[in-house]
């Protein structure tokens, strides 16, 4: 059963030079009990997409499509309606989460402000829950009485995860939460996310990253974005082991592999630069960087093609049944 249904969503940024089409006609769903991964290089629209679901501020604008969450279109909610479900039904661990906590308040005061805003009146019960959740993420209860500046980077990350999930949201968005962490702490964070789902603290997760190796460890399905468009969507194992879109293939080839020395196999970068989304081309947006580009790619936008069971890619090179 789908918890979130996103259909033909368009999120643009209004600038003096025109509209930047950061997310342009993207469709996907997130099922209950699923970890849904979103990947792509910087500027592909990952963070814009997920932030549009929870908090849209100028110059970000909704330009079309819908995002139906538990029967309600998030694009049509008033600020008051959105505020009521934020952190209770739909929550986010923001990018740069280690700097997301108010440095002038203790952790317990940050949590109390959030809980009180959503109707909680018993501070002692809220602080008791906070200390239980801190213990769950291997932090001492004393952290509740500390300021963010007193915590290490890894401790701040875990404290932010506790704050974001304290009110048991149905859908948790994790936006690039491992990018500033060492590999050991990354593993801890991934294990905590799995633990939150196992304990029923959250029902589903959208995990956003540029690192496909991380998604291979945590996600059930992956969506690859490029220049605001969906390039590929499918089960994690298929997308990682049998990538259908040239962009996905190049992303995977750019990753280092354990046991493979540089002198034997050099890493391959993606040639060229991302296009401007102020005035994107009418054809495939990956055309200028694709090693297999044809004239058709320049002139026609590729359809989404079914390449396997629940596996789709948008590329003229692919045959098969259109979606």
- Top pLDDT among 99 and 30 is at 30
Closest CA to 62 of 101, 25, 113: 25
The pLDDT value recorded for residue 320 is 47
Sheet holding 18-31, edge to edge: 18-31, 2-15, 60-69, 72-73
The residues of the chain that CATH labels 3.40.50.300 are 2-89+170-258+267-322
226-238 mean pLDDT: 97
Q: Please determine, for residue 250, whether its predicted confidence score (pLDDT) is greater than 80.
A: yes
The whole-angstrom separation of Cα 323 and Cα 318 is: 13
pLDDT band per the 50, 70, 90 thresholds, residue 263: low
Highest average pLDDT, of 68-77, 187-196, 272-281, comes from 68-77
Query: In the beta sheet, which residues pair with residue 6?
Result: 28, 67
The pLDDT tens digits of the residues spanning 276-316 come to 999 998 999 999 999 999 999 999 999 999 999 999 999 99
Average pLDDT, the chain: 92
Check pLDDT > 90 for residue 261: no
Domain range 2-89+170-258+267-322, CATH class: alpha beta
Using CA atoms in the order 314, 316, 322, 323, what is the torsion angle rounded to 10 degrees?
Answer: 10
Q: Tell me if 127 sits within 8 A of 112, measured CB to CB.
A: yes
Alpha carbon of 8 to those of 4, 29, 51, 55, 313: distances in Å?
13, 11, 16, 19, 16
Picking from 18-22, 45-49, 175-179, 220-224, which range would have the lowest pLDDT averaged per residue?
A: 175-179
- Mind listing the pLDDT tens digit for each residue in 113-153? 999 999 999 999 999 999 999 999 999 999 999 999 999 88
* Segment 146-180, tens digit of pLDDT: 999 999 888 998 999 999 999 999 999 999 988 87
Count of CB atoms situated within 10 Å of the CB of 135: 13
């Amino acid at each position: 059963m789908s918890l979130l249904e996103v259909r033909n969503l368009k999120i643009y940024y209004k600038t003096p030079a025109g509209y930047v089409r950061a997310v342009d006609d993207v469709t996907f769903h997130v099922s209950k009990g699923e970890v849904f991964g979103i990947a792509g290089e910087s500027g592909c629209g990952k963070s814009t997409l997920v932030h549009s679901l929870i908090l849209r501020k100028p110059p970000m604008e909704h330009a079309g499509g819908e995002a139906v969450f538990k029967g309600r279109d998030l694009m049509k909610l008033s600020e008051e309606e959105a505020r009521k479900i934020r952190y209770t039904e739909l929550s986010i661990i923001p990018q740069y989460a280690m700097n997301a906590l108010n440095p002038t308040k203790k952790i317990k005061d940050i949590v109390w402000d959030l809980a009180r805003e959503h109707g909680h009146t018993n501070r002692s019960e809220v602080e008791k829950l906070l200390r239980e959740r801190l213990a769950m993420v291997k932090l001492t209860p004393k952290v509740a009485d500390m300021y963010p500046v007193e915590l290490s980077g890894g401790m701040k990350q875990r404290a932010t995860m506790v704050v974001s999930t304290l009110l048991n949201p149905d859908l948790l968005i994790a936006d690039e939460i491992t990018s500033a962490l060492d590999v050991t702490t990354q593993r801890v964070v991934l294990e905590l996310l799995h633990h939150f789902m196992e304990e029923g603290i959250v029902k589903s997760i959208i995990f956003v990253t540029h690192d496909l190796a991380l998604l291979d460890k945590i996600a059930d399905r992956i969506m690859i974005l490029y220049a605001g468009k969906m390039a590929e969507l499918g089960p994690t194992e298929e997308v990682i082991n049998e990538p259908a879109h040239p962009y996905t293939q190049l992303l995977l080839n750019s990753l280092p592999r354990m046991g493979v020395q540089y002198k034997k196999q050099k890493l391959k970068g993606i040639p060229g630069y991302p296009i401007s989304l102020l005035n994107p081309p009418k054809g495939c947006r990956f055309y200028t960087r694709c090693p297999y580009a044809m004239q058709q790619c320049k002139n026609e936008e590729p359809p989404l093609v079914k390449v396997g069971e629940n596996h789709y890619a948008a590329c003229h090179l692919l045959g098969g049944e259109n979606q």
